[in-house]
Homo-oligomer: A and B are copies of this chain.
Amino acid sequence: MPHSPDPAVLHGMPLFKALEREALADVVRHAQTRLIPKGTRIFSQGDEALAGHALIDGQVKIVQTGPDGQQVVLHFLGAGEMFGTLAMFMGGKYPAEALAVTDCVEIHWSVPTMMALMERHPRIALNALSILGRRFGEVQKRLREISTERVERRIAHALLRLVRQAGRRVETGVEIDFPLSRQDLAEMTGTTLHTVSRTLSAWEGQGIVASTRQHVVITEPHRLVAIAEDLPAPKQKD
């Protein structure tokens, strides 16, 4: 059954950064914990937004679906990140759906609770603005990328972004630490799984990446960066 989470966990989260002990206790008191098995849809696009969510453990992907069923992967997120929080400011409906790609632990607050918390502790609202602002900038950057860059570079960017978010060092390079299909990559970069597959195959032939089903390891990150940034000489060492 749901119970209050450890305050220490919250304190590490950007949303609750720099809160006094007392405020933090207030936040904890109103939180609800939930275990979410892999594959669960945490919420659906268009649902009435019920709460702000914070991921304690696991990974979640945020997918938006268009009128004709075309999907776009908007975001992958990991432990410590918030999601669905902005929905309560956007007409009260989730603008996308959240899927647990691994087993997850999340805490959430009801909308009125969160609102009240923010009124009581302005710091939280400011933190939220800070987070949202950063995310906003990222989305804008992606918008520029997708409207001005070719597919290959977009895929490179997407992979690098994922590495930054969920990269884990392994002996052969950096691995993206959750199931990631060609289709997912296609939906993040506005292309098709065919093209993604072809591109990865090409890179694999050049020893830049190594991929199996749902799984990608970047063996030569610097060369991927070179592709993403369109550098002339893919240096061997830096």
Contact = CB atoms under 8 A, between A and B. Distances in A.
Interface stretch (A21-29, A89-97, A159-167, A204-212): A89-97
Given A122-B122, A134-B89, A190 B146 contact: yes
- SS class, residues of chain A in contact with chain B: helix
A74 B147 CA distance: 11
A135 interface: yes
Interface string A142-154: 1111111100000
A229 B72 CA distance: 18
Copies in the complex: 2
A139 B143 contact: yes
Contacts of A115: 126
Chain A interface size, as a band, is 35 or more
A144 B70 contact: yes
Interface in A48-68: 64, 66-68
Nearest to A133: B89
A137 interface: yes
The 6 closest A-B pairs by CB, nearest first: A147-B190, A89-B133, A125-B125, A70-B148, A122-B122, A86-B133
